[in-house]
Structure 1
Amino acid sequence: MPNTAILMVIDAVGLKTIEYLISKTKRNNIKLDSLSYLGIREMINPNLRKKIKGNLRTKLNKKAYRINQASKTADSLIGHREMVGIIDNNVYNLFPDGFPENYLKKLEEAVGRKTFFNKMAGGMEAIELNYKRQEETGDLIVYASKCDPLIQIAMNEEIIPIDEQRFIADSAFKIAMEMNIPITRAIARSYIRKGNEIIRTPNRYDAVLGLKNKTLIDIMNENCICSVSVGKTSDLVNTKYYEKIKITKKEFLDPKLKLKFVHPAFKDSNPYNVQGIINALKSSKVIYRPKGTFIFANLVDTDSVYGHTRDVEGAIDSIEETDKSIKKIIDIMDKEDILIITADHGMEHREDYGYHSNEELFAFVCSKKFNLEKITNISYPGLTQIGAIVSKYFNIEKDYSKIIKD
């Protein structure tokens, strides 16, 4: 049976970020059985190690790396793309003063709706301040992200249909490219209101910067290796996948797995994405895949739910639940399967907000029986090393090395 490689990205958890969270938490007992076994304790400040408890009672072949992003900008899109072979030397700046008026005028003409607000803000903040006008007039809440080089447009999906929201995001991105406004995405932030509560729905849509070069995923497609994206990875690396898994309803969570929501209002999505990884892994064992399966997954909550909000205790709880999920995934891996765990960037907690940071990251590779020496004794720049390990596992390193050189 062909084998499976899993790449699991724990969003916004660099080594400096982990040290900050541990130093600020009120807890003295952070249970990380899986990550401790793989080597996270040895990578952080010795004075903080004692707060991390636990270890797996298992025997795995394993490798641990310290790794730095080669691309210039700390961003989820940039980090994930580098993992599959694209180094981006462009510098993408934020928009603290909002977007140019002539850009927004062109957008209004293209979509037939007015825009307003046009300030840098957090997502919920922008909606909470402006939902009344949006819902009364149908005008678009436009705001700049505090951490990513992108435009966000918030719309109540009961006022503006989803198809129109996607058209608006596509138009915003297209016009930005025509005017050389350096953004990586235009996001339609769909929400609804239930009484006084604002709820961002799963119908978010990202119009994304196109891929200028071939990626590891494209090479897999050419070599009959089945690629499966879980969560937002297919939005970030927007190429063709054999399968895309995006679970958004609790009914699809297997109760036997006991996947736990950390957020009291169930705003976290990691349980859905862990379920997606497990579904993809189990499918890879029963559906014929001639050259194997690559599962590319993102666990976003340490970024979107707990990172930008600077929720230290929530982030620690989320990492603990992720750690438990790693054990669940390892338990059902075949002997020759491999699991790679890394992060896409860090998170700097400032007084006003959590901002993406370009910092040293961890990378762990493990397998029950596969000889990791065959695939890890290589050297590639930055996070392209991750893709190189995967390419060597699937015997396509020669093709992968060409896209790095190009």
Structure 2
Amino acid sequence: MERPFKRFAIVVLDGVGIGEMPDAAQWGDAGSDTLGHLLMAEKPALLNMQRLGLGNIRPLPNLPPAAAPEGSFGKAAILSKGKDTTVGHWEIAGVITRKPFPTYPDGFPERILEPFRKSIGRGVLGNRPASGTEIVKDLGEEHMRTGRPIVYTSADSVFQVAAHEEVIPIEELYRICEVARRLLDGEDRVARVIARPFVGQPGAFRRTGNRKDFAAPPPGQTLLDLMKDCGLQVTSVGKIASIFGHRGFTRALEAHNNSEVMTQTVQALKESGEGLIFSNLVDFDMIWGHRNDADGYARGLEEFDAGLAELRAAMRRDDCLIITA
């Protein structure tokens, strides 16, 4: 039987939600409606996504439905227990998380920190839930003076380690994160350990593009594994490969921001054979979402919308493009 599609491209707009789930209050997200609130406050022009059917999913402020949508459209709900990057992407690839990953609203307990400090031969700073930019602002100078990495978490299941690149070199920071990944197992098996390097001087610290994620591997076979085992090409663009523990891909294209992800996705569409291209536009979450930067978020949506023209131009007749969040 002839397959209607021979290539799929999944593009994840990281964090661009279209309304709360029924259990949103359990996760501190009651009333969440990222796209609806942005359209009301900033009124970004999203003509390409509108033509595809974005405004037909549900009533959205300042985005009327298309009379004849060019694409299929709908709203998906998550089955997994959790709401973070790992859980969401795994479910896209067919793995349902029944037991949520652990979170640490009061910081990490000594059963984690004591062996971690011993293994890396250093003390740590922080150990609390925090915004990455704020905790670096608060503790960056002390970190530079003591050489101790800054450890923090968030509402998600993450163990994050921030360090100045001139104090703890990149490769050493990655080694420290690998130690944490090995130690965080069993009941403390967090979804991701994240290296968060930064540069600059007190009062002017800034993150670099050398972030690296060390994810727990999926507990079962994913769509990516199945496609790869069938001899199809499976291409990761941006942070996707790290979310799956670099498993199930035939190649991984490096990209550190939305612009690079779009460029690499278009290039992959131009040259890839049958299979899947899986991309994540991280800036919506990492740059604008966590900082509640509505203006930057809206401009980012407009840039993505404009870039859709080039992306669609690179597609073949038997390609299927899936835009999700």
TM over 0.5: yes
> Contact conserved, 1:32 with 1:54, CA < 8 A, in 2?
no
> Contact conserved, 1:103 with 1:176, CA < 8 A, in 2?
yes
Normalising by structure 2, report the TM-score.
0.88
Q: Deviations over 1:5-46 (max 9, x none)?
A: 111011111112211222233x4xx31122111211122335
Structure-1 separation of matches of 2:200 and 2:65: 42
1:296 to 267, 278, 286: 278
Structure-1 separation of matches of 2:170 and 2:55: 45
SS of 2:115's equivalent? helix
Structure-2 separation of matches of 1:53 and 1:212: 42
| Alignment-derived partner of residue 263 in structure 2 | 275
Q: Which amino acid aligns with 1:152?
A: Q
| Alignment-derived partner of residue 121 in structure 1 | 130
> Contact conserved, 1:19 with 1:44, CA < 8 A, in 2?
no
SS of 1:197's equivalent? coil
Structure-2 separation of matches of 1:301 and 1:75: 15
Are 1:151 and 2:133 matched, yes or no? no
Structure 1: unaligned runs, 5 residues or longer:
249-268, 344-406
| Alignment-derived partner of residue 18 in structure 2 | 15
1:208 to 204, 215, 220: 215
| Alignment-derived partner of residue 349 in structure 1 | none
Q: Deviations over 1:288-339 (max 9, x none)?
A: x4xx131000011111111111111211111111111222111121111111
Q: Which amino acid aligns with 1:304?
A: M
Structure 2: unaligned runs, 5 residues or longer:
20-33
| Alignment-derived partner of residue 185 in structure 2 | 177
1:32 to 38, 46, 69: 46
> Contact conserved, 1:33 with 1:53, CA < 8 A, in 2?
no
| Alignment-derived partner of residue 7 in structure 2 | 4
> Contact conserved, 1:39 with 1:64, CA < 8 A, in 2?
yes
SS of 1:174's equivalent? helix
Shift of 1:210: 1.7
| Alignment-derived partner of residue 31 in structure 2 | none
| Alignment-derived partner of residue 224 in structure 2 | 217
Q: Which has the higher strand share?
A: 1
Structure-2 separation of matches of 1:199 and 1:240: 33
* Closer, same or farther: CA 148–59 of 1 in aligned 2, 3 Å: closer
Structure-1 separation of matches of 2:105 and 2:221: 33
Q: Deviations over 1:30-68 (max 9, x none)?
A: 31122111211122335x1xx237979x995x3112210
2:204 to 188, 197, 200: 197
Q: Which amino acid aligns with 1:214?
A: Q
Are 1:85 and 2:94 matched, yes or no? yes
Structure-1 separation of matches of 2:132 and 2:46: 31
Shift of 1:232: 0.5
> Contact conserved, 1:154 with 1:190, CA < 8 A, in 2?
yes
Shift of 1:84: 0.8
SS of 1:295's equivalent? strand
Shift of 1:189: 0.9
Are 1:52 and 2:73 matched, yes or no? no
Q: Which has the higher contact order (CA 8 A, sep 6+)?
A: 1
> Contact conserved, 1:31 with 1:53, CA < 8 A, in 2?
no
| Alignment-derived partner of residue 342 in structure 1 | 324
| Alignment-derived partner of residue 318 in structure 1 | 300
Structure-2 separation of matches of 1:93 and 1:242: 31
Percent of aligned positions that are identical: 29
| Alignment-derived partner of residue 148 in structure 2 | 139
Are 1:247 and 2:255 matched, yes or no? yes
* Closer, same or farther: CA 93–310 of 1 in aligned 2, 3 Å: farther
> Contact conserved, 1:34 with 1:55, CA < 8 A, in 2?
no
Structure-1 separation of matches of 2:244 and 2:48: 28
CA-atom RMSD in angstroms = 2.1
Are 1:69 and 2:78 matched, yes or no? yes
Shift of 1:139: 0.6
SS of 1:168's equivalent? helix
Q: Which amino acid aligns with 1:241?
A: F
> Contact conserved, 1:151 with 1:187, CA < 8 A, in 2?
yes
Number of residue pairs the alignment of both structures matches: 306
